[in-house]
Amino acid sequence: MSAMETKTKIVVITADDAGRRMDNYLFSELKHVPKSRIYRAIRKGEVRVNKKRIKVEYKLQLEDQVRIPPISQPEQAPAVRPSNNLVDLLQQRILYEDDKILVLNKPSGIAVHGGSGIQLGVIEALRVIYPKLALELVHRLDRETSGCLIIAKRRSALRNMHAQMREGQVHKIYQCLVKGWLGKPQIRVDKPLYKNQLASGERFVKIDLQQGKPSATKFKEIERFEQTSLIEADLETGRTHQIRVHAQSLGCFLAGDDKYGDKDFDQKMKALGLKRLFLHAMKITFKLPGSDEVKVISAPLDVELLDVLKRLREQRKL
């Protein structure tokens, strides 16, 4: 791939970027430049702030003037554009939007971002819809999971939302269909989870008392059927695959879960029309960035999931 050299830029720091470390700021400004080259440019004084040399850990201040030097970087292939159908779908599934954030009812089967053989995810598609905004994911959902997904339109909003998440101010509730019943109206699972990445790049999570990170989920039974139940999962922590692994530890395998599930159970659910993981981020509660207003956003279940529940209710009546 041929290389191109950027031109010298003088950037005046706005409130959105004030407080960021110098190196992290440059990583976002020079996305395709190796980090080692960026660190070298800072150490050698090629990058200047207010005409002075700075260190990589320098915290940017409002109205700082940053000199970004010419740096060679590979020419990028034209960005893959989302189809009109995908653009229309995402626009129809916006649950809330203001000048700082948007909340999307993410469709199942679409990754939140590209990578690992996926050219285009939700965030890349939204960046085409909003070309003038610096959109960033506030959090993630697995590819097969649907429901509430927050995207920041400004870096200040991203920092605010991440601070809320660290302080436990963002509350997420999911709905899932599982094999069997909880055995009681509510159960709290408090078991540490360890994430392992296989040679293939696939992530696999297990309960590990020694190496695992603290993880807790509260499960609540919503509706009971003959061999399955609809339950609510209230996350106290937000670990990878947390709901799926904690439910598995109870013997309540999620329907359509090809990684942690039960194959015989999944076959029965397929016969009812389920072609995906039955896991949906149904509600998210947080404070609007820059405000004390608490926002509660709910995402309705997709038609496919509603149809499966309808068939289960019909079976129960027979």
What's the chain's length in residues? 318
CA distance 106 to 117: 20
Phi, psi of 88 (to 5 degrees): -60, -40
Determine contact, residues 60/19, Cβ cutoff 8 Å.
yes
Residue holding tokens 């404070």?
287
Assigned token pair, 106: 């993410």
Assigned token pair, 308: 């499966």
Beta bridge partner(s), residue 106: 147
CA distance 17 to 14: 6
3-state secondary structure of 243: helix
Residue type, 29: E
Determine contact, residues 54/11, Cβ cutoff 8 Å.
no
CA atoms within 13 A on the CB side of 96: 19
Phi, psi of 306 (to 5 degrees): -65, -40
Instruction: Name the residues annotated as catalytic.
Output: 142
Angle at 271 between CA 265 and CA 276, to 5 degrees: 70
